[in-house]
Structure 1
Amino acid sequence: MATTQTRSHSGHGHHHHHHDNVYLTSQNKNDAGVRITRLGLYSNLGMAIAKGVGGYAFNSKAMIADAIHSVTDLASDILTLATISWSLKPPTDKFPTGFGKIESLGSLGVSGMLLIGGMWMGYGSLLTLYGHFFLDPAAAADLLAHAHSHGHDHSHDHSGPSIHAAWLAAGTVAIKEWLYHATMKVARERKSSVLASNAVHHRVDSLTGFVTLAVILGANFMQNAAWLDPVGGLLISLMVVKAGAENTVAALMELADRSIDDEVKGSIKNKVYKVTPEIAKGHEIELRDVSGIKSGQNYLVDLEVAVPNAWTIEDIRHVEDKIRTQIGGKVRGVRRVRVRFVSKEADDLPKFDEFIPGHISPRSSPEPDEDVHHHGHNDEHHKQH
């Protein structure tokens, strides 16, 4: 026989990194991912309240926009904790590839909230600007109250924000910048898209804090510059919309099963070649293809390995176990390794050859035809009972 092909469906679960099983589940308070997400959650809660109260008391539209953004960040932290503990559950019969996509859905939810929140803030700031430039103060206050915006402070918009708001803005910048760096460090280590998405929120909040600070100082030290505040609010909303849009696209790509990135493929190749000398029994094994998808933090990897034609199934099982152990233990995030074996003597198989061509009709493929399902063939009927 020219080609020997074996597909492994064994899916051993015991090679996963022990630290992944407890990553960001609520019981393990010592884990870096849990700690930084919780710290972010508490600080967002504190800053949302402080900025909301400060924006109201100090009459700053930009600071109120910032407070709204902190609320979306707070929701993002809660979603992060909820989805990550889900995404690391082992696969079941109903969910054979595991629950990683739950994290991708969580990431989509977080970025979707950011996108909608940014648009809503931008709308409020545009209304304020329209009122400031085209209406007298009383009419502007009526317009903004009617639009369910923060109408309480716009009757005295001409006075601009208080200088005391600057201290609050400077404090949030410092806290948020630290949170960004700390969260991104863990996200890079864990290759977690939802944690990276959360870190980006912290960075955007830090940048919005800079804008708020500049706006408050400008409105206080320049004449007739009260319009700076709603302009700042508009700028903040545009930054939020941009971050939300980018993260939404990334989450959608993950849900659409885009391939794993080249860096991870390279890492997997290195690990397979490292294990080759000890398992090849004097023969070279050849790694012909690495593919796979990202499912939350989990990588589901498919390999095509060429081995000598004379090898037995026992030889192949030995190689497969070694490869799975090596990749599972050394490449962070790999949760499943499937190996397809082909003969070294045979030509390379065409890519995606395991897919059924679209032009093959259901009637010509060996599935029970529709009549069997509709009329309840006896065999089918007995199987169900």
Structure 2
Amino acid sequence: MAALTQTRGHSGHGHSHGHHHHHDNVYLTSKNKNDAGVRITRIGLASNLGMAIAKGVGGYMFNSKAMVADAFHSVTDLASDILTLATISWSLRPPTDKFPVGFGKIESLGSLGVSGMLLTGGLWMLWGSTLSLYSHFFLDPAAAAELMAHAHSHGHSHGHDHGHGAPSIHAAWLAAGTVAVKEWLYHATMKVARERKSSVLASNAVHHRVDSLTGIVTLAVILGANFVQNAAWLDPVGGLLISLMVIKAGAENTVASVMELADRSIDDEVKGSIGKQVRKALADVPEGHVTQLREVTGIKSGQNYLVDLEISVPNNWTVEHVRDVEDNVRARVGGKVRGVRKVRVRFVPKETKTLPKFDEFIPGDVSAKSSPEPEDEHDHDDGNGHHHKHQ
């Protein structure tokens, strides 16, 4: 789930069908098998595996490009789910000396891998469907057979007229079965989601509905190719449509993963939630001491939010004062905003004017002349802040 734009509640999985780039995966990783949310999520995972295999084999056997495309779609969904399971525990591990901000970017890298696979597979499917359409409309049967045999050097015909023949009607039963299973999963998952008021399960349910819709496209093109005269071209058209959906999802998820790896700021919704909890924590400061939240920034690292806050406090406050406020703010934000793993607070005196944005950022144009290295290797510090030079 990791990063497909498919509204998956994956700590963001976003198959452009509307999504989170990364969701809370508690239902996939929980050991409590009696929990309704865990059960329906695992049933969904198992059904994705079964249907990916069935659609792949059925599409090949029954000569349906649309079904093969849909099978690839299922495989990439499944790969993202498995990747999520593989990376979630790692990405939530505490920081170490070598990895001082934790391991969240491991999930971001995995997300980039899955979305890259999705994009590549979508482009490959698009190429195959385009070749089929070209050969159908612009080449005679012999030339078309030669082109398709060359394109699929393994000879994707086994007696099916190399892309010109209509898909077998038996593929329709398989397509109808996958639609029925996905519709059942949608209703069953949404029922639990409403009971739990779980946005994660709700997004998973919507994902099942999207898969159901792609199954309906597959079913429509198989039936059309079999019952409408001279409509064998409908199957590659269906494959083309599904491949475009996969490409869109892959491109959106690839961009989202790259942005996360490049440390783009957390989104405004999360900033708003953090700001709300910080203000509640500051409201507990004894009366007469005016404190104010000036800025919330931070980055997303996998499922982890690494947050920076700037808070103004009275000029005469001691380190003990600010330490108490910092502890309260950290405890409240960490306990109330899901995903926050690190809170760093910068305190500034409230009587001073607002500091310029990014004032702590040292520009990258410092030259050797303006910042020289020590000239003498015998320079040393006596421990009291005084430098001594041995000539």
> 1:362–1:260: structure 2 CA closer, same or farther, 3 Å change rule?
farther
Tell me the distance in 1 between the aligned counterparts of 2:206 and 2:251: 12
Select 1:76's aligned residue among 65, 77, 80.
Answer: 80
Asked whether the 8 Å contact 1:140–1:154 carries over to 2, the reply is no
Tell me the distance in 1 between the aligned counterparts of 2:310 and 2:108: 27
Residue 264 of structure 1 aligns with which residue? 270
Residue 243 of structure 2 aligns with which residue? 237
Which is further off, 227-236 or 34-43? 34-43
1:227 deviates by 0.9
Asked whether the 8 Å contact 1:21–1:88 carries over to 2, the reply is no
Residue 95 of structure 2 aligns with which residue? 91
1:347 aligns with 2:353: yes
Match runs of 1:33-44 below 5 Å: 38-44=42-48
Select 2:171's aligned residue among 165, 171, 176.
Answer: 165
Residue 286 of structure 1 aligns with which residue? 292
Tell me the distance in 2 between the aligned counterparts of 1:325 and 1:201: 35
Asked whether the 8 Å contact 2:156–2:162 carries over to 1, the reply is no
Tell me the distance in 1 between the aligned counterparts of 2:355 and 2:328: 24
Residue 116 of structure 2 aligns with which residue? 112
1:367 deviates by 6.0
Asked whether the 8 Å contact 1:24–1:85 carries over to 2, the reply is no
1:294 deviates by 0.8
Unmatched segments (≥5 aa) in structure 1: 1-19, 380-385
Q: TM-score, normalised by structure 2?
A: 0.79
Residue 130 of structure 1 aligns with which residue? 134
Q: Which amino acid aligns with 1:79?
A: L
Tell me the distance in 1 between the aligned counterparts of 2:92 and 2:40: 18
SS at structure 2 position matched to 1:238: helix
Residue 312 of structure 2 aligns with which residue? 306
Match runs of 1:155-234 below 5 Å: 155=161, 157-176=163-182, 182=189, 205-234=211-240
Asked whether the 8 Å contact 2:28–2:38 carries over to 1, the reply is yes
Tell me the distance in 2 between the aligned counterparts of 1:89 and 1:367: 38
1:323 aligns with 2:318: no
Which is further off, 172-181 or 69-78? 172-181
> 1:353–1:256: structure 2 CA closer, same or farther, 3 Å change rule?
same
Q: Which amino acid aligns with 1:82?
A: A
1:145 aligns with 2:159: no
Tell me the distance in 2 between the aligned counterparts of 1:239 and 1:208: 9
> 1:284–1:378: structure 2 CA closer, same or farther, 3 Å change rule?
closer
Asked whether the 8 Å contact 2:157–2:163 carries over to 1, the reply is no
Q: Deviations over 1:112-152 (max 9, x none)?
A: 11100001111111222222223333443332222226333
**Structural RMSD (CA):** 3.4
Q: Deviations over 1:224-247 (max 9, x none)?
A: 111111111111111111111011
SS at structure 1 position matched to 2:284: helix
SS at structure 2 position matched to 1:155: coil
Q: Deviations over 1:17-58 (max 9, x none)?
A: xxx897754756568886666444322221122112322333
Tell me the distance in 2 between the aligned counterparts of 1:306 and 1:265: 18
Select 1:247's aligned residue among 239, 250, 253.
Answer: 253
Count the aligned residue pairs. Answer: 351
Unmatched segments (≥5 aa) in structure 2: 1-23, 381-391
Select 1:335's aligned residue among 326, 338, 341.
Answer: 341
Q: Deviations over 1:40-91 (max 9, x none)?
A: 4322221122112322333322112222222223322221211222111111
Q: Deviations over 1:325-353 (max 9, x none)?
A: 11111111111000101111111111101
Tell me the distance in 2 between the aligned counterparts of 1:44 and 1:153: 29
Q: Give identity over the alignment, percent.
A: 77
Select 2:67's aligned residue among 55, 63, 68.
Answer: 63
**RCO higher in 1 or 2 (8 Å CA, sep ≥ 6)?**
1
Tell me the distance in 2 between the aligned counterparts of 1:239 and 1:88: 32
Asked whether the 8 Å contact 2:148–2:163 carries over to 1, the reply is no
Asked whether the 8 Å contact 1:204–1:239 carries over to 2, the reply is no
Asked whether the 8 Å contact 1:298–1:335 carries over to 2, the reply is yes
> 1:253–1:157: structure 2 CA closer, same or farther, 3 Å change rule?
closer
Asked whether the 8 Å contact 1:137–1:156 carries over to 2, the reply is no
